Structure 1
């Protein structure tokens, strides 16, 4: 939303919004929509109010401080859980966890508004919190700002054949098979893309040259274990509404009501065709035993000699085996939406392999197992 539209909505609020209670002060308890409890805060300090305004709603007002609306702020976006408590003094916090919080700040941009004396935080969130996503649905603008396309061959006319996830200012997470399967090292990473056939003002993609490809040290060409890699970009990425990193899942357990795939490809790294539009679908986690049964024959070969390893792999896909992997190209993310930090995704898996194009279940590299290695490469000087 542009600043002029935002200001117009604030003016509407000033005329039409009603006070939740008389003679309140900043910091007082208040009651918002549906009886939800909150705290009176200036609208510039309430991300949830910005989220409501973007959707055309009117946040409940406490009062006006001059021309500045003071709203009943729930402290989180609609549908989000309360922020997790800060670690106790002396408690260990992973570098990846700290970076997740830092990158969450890029959800907002700061603009000067004539209605307030200090910069206003404008919410750029486009995360869809609906619990069900129809199969093959096209992603909304800016909905997956971390999703990357990997381009091979000529830099001016690259062949887009793999996906990935931006995880920092300089690094993209992907599959090792996207680098060692005969494609060679990708030359270009494209970020902020949603439709390869169009250019619009909402999604302005950017291309970044690849400076270095880093395979996991225990990955072996032709083998499906440790199928994870990092691409170091030639320069830092400028974060925008369309481009910002995702978080890394740091716990083995995936305690999420839903997981989502988003990508461009057919879901099998041996297939060289992609969709021209970024797509998404629900992708439920399956029991490891389901993948052990599905890949029993492959486990007799050198490619999967030890079978499915639960510590390093995630089994996912619908029970019915519908074509829910077609949007998840090689190297692309299996992710969960977070409630805190606000409007962020956590990448729980990197697409590795399946039985065939669009046939569930699928196997993803379990990101949490590889977080120590990722941290050592991406943030080597931080502890």
Structure 2
């Protein structure tokens, strides 16, 4: 989740405490309960830096937030690298992007395979650097080889789910467990250092909010922190979902990760993508999520996955 003070990606491990979000006041989660859960990373030397969450939605396609990859580039070798824009406007390369999928723990799990990103598709209505204006959604294609489970997406192949206020939804990620927590690091089975706000996957349950309640909470937080010039043009509507506003929340590093409901069999369906908020788990300040079903046509057009029904 993007923070009101973080507008660019910073270099090094210190950046992970601010640009990468985890779940606040959550609990340990198992990757098996989150099919296709993924960590977007970039390599610096032999170290891997978690930056955002994502979900595999097929064997080659990954769903995430646009602000996680709006500075990334496909390079001459046909794979993506992460960049950031310095204060002087110049782009600086951080390192090649890699995707780790299905990790309960980013360093302790025996699986150390990661996948290169071979294509980037950011929604055409997304304005770079202005995630609060909406369409904060992107699709990434990875190299062949992944054969694991993937997440079902609301509205993709079936009618969109009706989401009522006060319904409880769940979110998961490797982001901060507190608003000001710092990055963790450990060696994986290959001897590479892996850094993330939380190396252990976390999850939390949050209530959905009506758009009116969401707007009231955001407006109050924006006024309290004097952020009218930065966030005065934020957008809510059918393309967004709001949740939280209490002790549990997504946070820095959870960006791009899944917000889900569970069907009658207890299986998750992704209804949202972690996008932005003002701080983490601040009383009355909700989190804003991109509504997946609002973009199902675009997802289908890019990926050629199931057309939405209805």
Indicate whether the TM-score tops 0.5: yes
Q: Of 139, 142, 150, which residue of structure 2 is paired with 1:245?
A: 150
Q: Is the 8 A contact 1:268 1:329 kept in 2?
A: no
Q: Answer whether contact 1:173 1:230 (CA < 8 A) is retained.
A: yes
Provide the rounded CA distance (Å) in 2 between the counterparts of 1:280 and 1:178: 20
Compute the displacement of 1:358 (Å): 3.3
The answer to whether the Cα contact below 8 Å between 1:260 and 1:336 also exists between their aligned partners in 2 is: yes
1:317 equivalenced with 2:244 (yes/no): yes
Alignment of 1:102-117 (within 5 A): none
CA contact (8 A) 1:179 1:186 kept: no
Query: In the alignment, which residue of structure 1 is the partner of 2:141?
Result: 232
Superposed displacement of residue 308, structure 1? 3.5
Q: Is 2:273 the partner of 1:350? A: yes
Q: Are the structure 2 counterparts of residues 226 and 378 from structure 1 closer, same or farther at C-alpha, using a change threshold of 3 Å?
A: same
Deviation (angstroms), 1:328: 7.0
Q: Is the 8 A contact 1:138 1:280 kept in 2?
A: yes
Which of the pair has more CA radius of gyration? 1
Q: Deviations over 1:23-55 (max 9, x none)?
A: xxxxxxxxxxxxxxxxxxxxxxxxxxxxxxxxx
Contact 1:262 1:328 in 2 (8 A): no
**More relative contact order in 1 or in 2 (CA 8 Å, sep 6+)?**
2
Aligned length: 238
* One of 153, 172, 175 as aligned partner of 1:262: 172
Distance 1:269 1:164 in 2: 21
The question of whether the paired residues in 2 share the 8 Å contact of 1:145 and 1:191 is answered with no
Label 1:327 to 1:154 Cα distance change in 2 as closer, same or farther (>3 A).
closer
Q: Which runs of 5+ in 2 are unaligned?
A: 1-23, 73-81, 84-94, 184-196
- 5+ residue gaps in structure 1? 1-133
Aligned to 2:123: 216
Once the two structures are TM-superposed, the CA of residue 259 in structure 1 deviates from its matched residue by 0.9
State the shift of 1:302 in Å.
6.0
Contact 2:173 / 2:254 at 8 angstroms: preserved in 1?
A: yes
Query: Does 2:62 correspond to 1:172?
Result: yes
Indicate the residue corresponding to 2:9 in structure 1.
Answer: none
- 2:33 is aligned to 143
Partner of 1:365: 290
Deviation at 1:198, TM superposition (A): 1.4
Partner of 1:377: 302
Question: Which structure shows the bigger proportion of residues in strand conformation?
Answer: 2
* Structure 1 segment 144-159 matched on structure 2, within 5 A: 144-154=34-44, 156-159=46-49
Local SS of the residue matching 1:280? strand
CA gap of 1:232–1:304, structure 2 versus 1, over 3 A, is farther
* Cα displacement (A) at 1:257: 4.6
2:106 corresponds to which residue?
196
- With over 3 angstroms needed to count, the CA separation of the structure-2 counterparts of 1:143 and 1:371, relative to structure 1, is same
CA distance in 2, matches of 1:284, 1:142: 23
Q: Distance in 1 between matches of 2:255 and 2:49?
A: 14
Partner of 1:206: 113
Q: 1:199: Cα distance to partner?
A: 2.9
**What pairs up with 1:63-102 in 2 under 5 angstroms?**
none
1:272–1:176 CA distance, 2 compared to 1 (3 A)? farther
Deviation (angstroms), 1:375:
0.6
Deviation at 1:312, TM superposition (A): 1.0
